[in-house]
Amino acid sequence: MKFSLQQQAADEATLPWLEDAQKLGEQPAADWVKAMRHTGAEAFSRTGLPTPSWEGWQHTHLRPLTQTRFHYKVEPVKFDINALPSSLLKDAARIVLVNGQYKPELSATPEGVIVMSLMDASVQVEGIEEHLVTVGDLATAPFKALNAAYMHDGAVIIVKDGADITQPLEVLFYNAGDADKAPSLQPRCLYWLGKNSGLTVFERHAGVGAYFTNIYTGIFLESASRLKFYKIEEESAAACHFSYTVLQQQKHSSFEGFSYAAGGRLVRQEYQNLLIDSGISCNVSGVYLLKDQQCHDFTVLTDHFEPDGTSVQHFKGVIDDQARSVFQGKIHVRRVAQKTNGNQLNHALLLSEKAEASFKPELEIYADDVKCSHGAASGQLDQDALFYLQSRGIPATEAKSLLIESFLNGALAEVSFAPAREVYEERIREWLGH
């Protein structure tokens, strides 16, 4: 596969991001995959990386991403198997991807679940194309376009109709950086739940060294299916993590998503939630814990197409040192989506004078029989409460931690699966240093 990009490129800095895509021309792939790669490469070559003048990118600066030259490799990466983190839960099954490449020899699949690599699924699974192809908005979504240009790595997870999977599934993305050539990782994954099925997923992102991971995730929930999707973003301190998740829900399906974000140097998690039928429940919430010079961006769009839908966006964050957070949330209610109930809330706790929090909450409502609300606020620790705890003999550091945990518990209440909530609580305590 050859791209003629030199004359189309937005600027000279754009081309190096696409040079390694030429390697995929030697790899076997379905015709629609090849077409997707070419479409993605052409779109990215015209736009390049977004700048602060772009809508939605005013507060997320990409300097950490542009300071390093990242390289994509088709070949399997060498890594120390002993460096893989232990499983989150003792009774959970686990799927492992290393630098975006599915490793079946390190994975165990629950009964009723089908797992295969992206390339195998692209030729073996009927109807997979419509859930893996995205072309509509590549001109305004350059990281999605870049992922399409490198469409090769990743995994597809399918739950059969009527299968209620009680065993939790951990999906581990372990990334190994290279001191000489920092890797560019471009996995594309799909979670496809059949009618009246259920699954609980822990999606975990961890690694060592410097790397750039740019993951596109499709989630398709057929009618009456149920997915609990718990994400843990704990990338290495030198990593850049970008994720774009497109959720499509059918009639009476439910989605409970929660994200814990504490790793990475530069992180942007973007969600596009499409509630395309009636009676749908969609919850996308999370907590973020930032320090040093970290930058994290949650950008969430929930789009109600039909009546009787319920959606929640509830995020809380703690920001210390010179770290920066961005929250951009929108609930869109179309004219026919009567009886919609939407709630959006973001609160940030600033622990230093140089910490920053930026909010952009939005409601766009065209129906007239709805119940929707939004709110955003930032502040500091309550000094009166801190003084009260200290006056009762609690040391200052412990008192501060108690107040922070209490603050974050409001978001953790969105997690209905007790083992997941315990995992998040443990990580919060570790971040606080006890």
* DSSP code string of 151-163: TT--EEEEE-TT-
Pairing of strands 324-333, 93-98: unpaired
Q: What is the pLDDT of residue 179?
A: 66
Which residue, 216, 87, 208, is CA-closest to 154?
Answer: 216
Measured between alpha carbons, how far is residue 433 from residues 101, 398, 429 in Å?
33, 10, 6
* CA distance linking residue 348 with residue 357, whole number of Å: 7
User: Rounded to two decimals, what is the model's pTM?
Assistant: 0.95
Q: What is the pLDDT of residue 7?
A: 45
The rounded radius of gyration (Å) of the Cα atoms in the chain is 21
CB of 204 within 8 A of CB of 260? Answer: no
Measured between alpha carbons, how far is residue 348 from residues 36, 103, 354, 358, 403 in Å?
39, 38, 14, 9, 13
Measured between alpha carbons, how far is residue 318 from residues 197, 201, 236, 271, 347 in Å?
36, 25, 19, 21, 9
- Hey, what's the torsion of the CAs at 43, 47, 53, 56, to 10 degrees? 20
Q: Give helix then strand counts, H and E, for the chain.
A: 9, 20
For the chain, 434 residues long, the average pLDDT of each consecutive 10-residue run is: 50 79 84 92 91 91 89 88 93 96 95 95 91 80 94 96 97 88 95 98 96 97 98 96 97 98 97 97 98 97 98 97 96 98 96 95 96 93 92 93 95 97 97 84
The two tokens of residue 85 are 């983190």
- Hey, what's the torsion of the CAs at 91, 101, 290, 83, to 10 degrees? 60
Helix (H) or strand (E) holding 108: none
Which residue, 240, 230, 286, is CA-closest to 263?
Answer: 240
Q: What is the pLDDT of residue 181?
A: 83
Which residue, 140, 109, 181, 135, is CA-closest to 39?
Answer: 135
* CA distance linking residue 381 with residue 351, whole number of Å: 7
Q: What is the pLDDT of residue 79?
A: 86
How many residues are listed for the chain in this entry?
A: 434
Please give the angle made by the CA atoms of 288, 331 and 423, to the nearest 5 degrees: 30
CB of 183 within 8 A of CB of 70? Answer: yes
Please spell the DSSP secondary structure of 149-202, one letter per residue: HTTT--EEEEE-TT-B--S-EEEEEEEE--SSSPBEE--EEEEEE-TT-EEEEE
Q: What is the pLDDT of residue 4?
A: 52
Convert 1-13 to b/e letters by CB count within 10 Å (16 or more is b): bebebeeebeeee
Q: What is the pLDDT of residue 6?
A: 46
The two tokens of residue 399 are 């008192």
Q: Which residues contact 396 (CB under 8 A, 6 or more apart)?
A: 386, 390
* CA distance linking residue 344 with residue 371, whole number of Å: 11
* CA distance linking residue 96 with residue 82, whole number of Å: 13
Q: Which residues contact 124 (CB under 8 A, 6 or more apart)?
A: 116
Three-state DSSP class for 354?
coil
* CA distance linking residue 301 with residue 317, whole number of Å: 19
Query: How would you classify residue 276: left for phi > 0, otherwise alpha for psi between -120 and 50, otherwise beta?
Result: alpha
Let me know if 356 is exposed, middle or buried by CB neighbors in 10 A (0-12, 13-18, 19+): middle
The two tokens of residue 335 are 């004219």
* CA distance linking residue 67 with residue 80, whole number of Å: 27
Domain ranges of the chain: 16-381, 382-434
